[in-house]
Structures are given as C-alpha cells and as structure tokens.
C-alpha cells in the first residue's frame, strides 16, 4: 500500500492552518465582546483638566527644558 506523503502533508498543513485561523477568529470576537462588556459595566471616568498650568508643573517643565538645552550644548561642544 503506497501512501503519497506530499498529499498527506498538504492535508495536515491546511488542517493546522484552518485550526489556527478559526482559533484566532474566535479569539478576536471574544475579545471584542469582552471590551464591550467592560466599557458597559465599568465606564471610564472623565478627568477634568484645568486650562491654566500649575506653578509646580511650570517649574518642572522649565527645569527639564534647561537640562535638555544644557545636554544639547554639551553634545555640540564634544563634537568639535
């Protein structure tokens, strides 16, 4: 009894790829349903953002800006 190994391997390849494709498709639908349920029962809280920056954030931003400028100047001085 002669078995054609190439046709058997092609059958197994399509069977394996079909199983993986079906699993991934089902997983996508389950994850979308889970996301819909979570947003329905646990909605995201709205955060109030003030339009004027706070003084502490201004100081931090100025300090970061000064550090960045100093680093760029130091890098330029090292080059030449």
| d(C-alpha 74, C-alpha 78), whole Å | 6
Residue 35: inside a domain, yes or no?
Answer: yes
Distance of CA 64 to the CA centre of its chain: 27
Provide the number of structural domains found in the chain.
1
Residue 51: inside a domain, yes or no?
Answer: no
* Residue-range definition of the domain harbouring residue 20: 5-43+56-79
Residue 74: inside a domain, yes or no?
Answer: yes
Residue 36: inside a domain, yes or no?
Answer: yes
pLDDT for 2 beyond 70: no
| d(C-alpha 58, C-alpha 4), whole Å | 75
pLDDT digits (tens, 9 = 90+) for 22-71: 999 999 999 999 999 999 998 888 777 766 656 666 667 888 888 899 99
Residue 62: inside a domain, yes or no?
Answer: yes
Residue 48: inside a domain, yes or no?
Answer: no
Residue 12: inside a domain, yes or no?
Answer: yes
| d(C-alpha 56, C-alpha 62), whole Å | 10
Residue spans of alpha helices (H) in 1-80: 5-41, 55-79
| d(C-alpha 61, C-alpha 58), whole Å | 5
pTM of the full predicted structure?
0.50
């Amino acid at each position: 009894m002669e078995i054609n190994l190439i046709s058997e391997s092609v059958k197994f390849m399509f069977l394996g790829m079909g199983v993986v494709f079906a699993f991934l498709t089902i997983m996508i639908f389950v994850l979308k349903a889970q996301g819909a349920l979570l947003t329905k029962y646990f909605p995201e809280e709205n955060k109030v953002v003030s339009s004027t920056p706070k003084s502490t954030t201004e100081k931090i931003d100025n300090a970061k800006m000064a550090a960045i400028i100093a680093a760029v100047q130091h890098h330029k001085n090292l080059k030449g």
